[in-house]
Structures are given as structure tokens and as C-alpha cells.
Structure 1
Amino acid sequence: MQPAAYDLESRHPGWPARLGPLRVAAGDLAIRPIRLRDAGDWSRIRLRDQEHLEPWEPTGPGPWRDRNSFWSWPPQWTALRSLARRGQCLPFTIMVDGEFAGQITIGNVIRASLRSAWVGYWVSSSMVKGGVATGAVALVVDHAFAVAGLHRIEATVRPENAPSIKVLTKAGFRQEGLFRRYLDVAGDWRDHYSYAVTAEETGPGLVARLVATGRAEYR
């Protein structure tokens, strides 16, 4: 028996949840909900990786060090958890071999007849080219379709961000178009490509595709 539409809208399907593990080149990949005690690892990696992350992230108020300090995590965690409990996002931490490796979020969840959202992610510079981002996207998108009840996931990426474009295409996303001067990134309005995937396009699932092509292994 299918739940009433009101019941589905009033809960927060798909969060919290634990996904994986999945074996990728970098190690054993797992996804779990964000935690308040992630503050230390989150801040340490983001401060270290400023040059790696800042060119691709939306412009924020104040200097990078202030926005990514230990004490800036608790209010972010509180806001994300509140949105998750209202069913408006699914915020996760990326773990590799039991260690904090980044974040991935299904955001701006819209239900009713649209059932869409976007996916955003960042990964530690030490995990680049290890299959971590691609595996994380596949795990979370499969979860969003199968458990969270969504139908379409989109992602936007700057044309200059070749590594992130590779992540999306390897995970099964297709390019839909170009948004001109779409987002304020690194202090200026930047063009972004729009990528998307729908539930019907995933077949047996994005993770299954990675496994079938030798990019990952089930654990």
C-alpha cells in the first residue's frame, strides 16, 4: 500500500542514512550523515585545501579562513540538519577507510509533481583521481531515487572545472545546457554547464554501472 501524499511530504525520506561501503581506487568509500563532531576534520581539510576548493565554490562573506574555521561548522551543521529534518536536503559526509574525506549534499529538494533536487560535493585534495567523488555521487543519487523518492537530480559546474565534469559524466549525468553568468564564484559571475540525470536513465543504478565498468567494487 502506497503512503498518502501528505504523509510522504511531512516526513524526511532518505535522511539520515548510511550508504556503502564501495571499493574505489582510493579505498573503502562510505557515506554517512553529517555530525557536529566533524568540525575539526572539516575545518582542517578546507583550510589546507583553499587553493583546491575556492576557485569552484560560491563567493561567501568574509575571508576563507573565517568561513572555514572550526567554529563556523556548528551553525552550518545546525542549518543543514534542520533542512534535512524538513525533507529539504540530504547532507552527508564522505568517508574513505573510516576517515573524513569531504561532503556531498542533495539540496533544494522539491517534491509534489516535480521531485527534483541538485547534488553538490567537494573532496579532499588527497583523494583526487581516486574515484571518491564519482563513487559518492553514484551512491547518493541511487539513494535519492530509490529511497528519497526523487525523480531528477541536476548539477552545475563551471566549464573550466574539467575534473568535476569527468566526475559527473562517469557517474552517468548528461549535459543539458549552459547557464550564462549563473553564479557568483571566486568574486565574479561565472557561466556554468547544467548536467542532470533522471531515475529512468539509471537502469540498474549508477553504482551498478561503475561496478560493471570496473571503476568500483561492492564490499
Structure 2
Amino acid sequence: MDGTLLRAHGPVSIRLVRSRDARPLQNELVQNRAWLRQWEATSPDGPVSLDMRSGVRRLLQQHRDGVGIPLVMEYDGEVAGQLNVWGIARGSLSSATIGYWVGERFAGRGITPTSVALATDLCFEDMRLHRMEICIRPENAKSLRVVEKLGFRYEGLRRRYIHIDGDWRDHYAFALTREDVPGGVLNRWVTGRVPEDAASVPPADRLPD
């Protein structure tokens, strides 16, 4: 897999991140601090750098090591955000996790669900992975809408799972396996065949009102 990687649907496309993407990605991160900060991964050991030059180098090294696929989300050819496939495991597990962010000015255009569908299809079809997972904070209503639209299956509550915005946060886990979507995630969504309530969180796991 190289920098020519491209999957697209309408004005939305995903491709492998390049070194020259560091500046536009950093600009989006800086301009969207209030929008993104509450959902960003942090570290219990101290501040996390926003230097995307080193961040892109690290992501590309993970790609070379076969444990990640760092993607840029574009809308009409403009960098709109980032989607990372991380924690790739081969062999008997054959799975990975998806994480993403998009700039506020691009919100509401269907970029994130389309990109997640494209990336999941890429992993199932090209990478031959078996299971894709997305973990989302219970408070993140916009991300919960993504898994609802695409029919990711709810699989449970993970207590204090990831360090986000300065503390360990609970997350809901959602997943799909290749058998769930024989015709592809994107195709199932755009043809209106997503099962109802697949992503529904049971009352016992919901945040109190």
C-alpha cells in the first residue's frame, strides 16, 4: 500500500497521509482546538505535542511496521481531517480499530461516516482483516451517529478505557466483522440496508440523564 491509495464516494475521499500533509493537518488542529479538545487522546504522563511533522513521521513508521494505516479525509480535494486504522493484529485475531477527527467547518457533510465506511471496506477487502472496532465516549453524540448510520454493532461498555481530555474516560465499543457486510459497509449504507438498532446501547450501559 502506497501514497496512491485512494477510495472515494462523491466528494469524499481517503488516502494515505503524506509528509506534506503535516501543515494543513496542523492548521486544522490549531483552528479547531475548542471543537476537538474534549475528544482528543491525552497522556497521563504529561502534555501531548501538536507537532504534526513528528506525528506524521510516527504514523508512517507504524504503517511501515504493518500496525497502522494513517489516512487523510478529503472533501472536494481539501484536507478535512484524519482517520487512523491502528492496532492492526494479524493471524487468529485479524482485527483493527478506527479513530478519526474532522474540522468543524466540514461537519454535517457526511464526511466522517463516508470515510469510516470507505476505510472499513478497505480493511476488509484489501487488507483481508476480519473485524473492525470503533470506541466512542458516551458523551460524543456526533460520533455515536456515525456508528448508528453505518450499523456498527454495540459490543459493550469499557470503563476508564482511554485517556481523553486529561482523564481516563469510559467508552462504548462497536464493531463489524466481514461476514456482517458481504457487499461492503458503504454499499449497505447507501442502499438503505443498515439493520435498525444495531448500535443501540442497552439501558444498563447508558449515562444517567
Please give the TM-score of this superposition, normalised by the length of structure 2: 0.86
Q: CA deviation at 1:102?
A: 0.4
Match of 1:29 among 12, 26, 36: 12
Stretches of 4+ moved more than 4 A in 1? 14-17
Per-residue displacement from partner, 1:5-24 (whole Å, max 9, x unpaired)?
Answer: xxxxxxxxx5555233212x
**Matched AA of 1:20:** R
Is 1:49 the counterpart of 2:28 in the alignment?
no
Q: How many residues align?
A: 191
Match of 2:120 among 133, 141, 149: 141
Match of 1:128 among 96, 107, 123: 107
Per-residue displacement from partner, 1:76-118 (whole Å, max 9, x unpaired)?
Answer: 1111111111211111101110100001111010001110110
2-side partners of 1:122 and 1:94: how far apart?
9
Unaligned segments of structure 2, at least 5 residues: 194-209
**Matched AA of 1:87:** G
Unaligned segments of structure 1, at least 5 residues: 1-13, 215-219
Identical pairs, percent: 37
Q: CA RMSD in A?
A: 1.6
Contact 2:67 2:86 in 1 (8 A): yes
Contact 1:172 1:202 in 2 (8 A): no
2:83 maps to what in 1? 104
Contact 2:74 2:81 in 1 (8 A): yes
**Matched AA of 1:18:** L
| SS of 1:204 mapped into structure 2 | coil
Is 1:20 the counterpart of 2:3 in the alignment?
no
Contact 1:19 1:140 in 2 (8 A): no
Which structure has more relative contact order (CA 8 Å, sep 6+)? It is 1
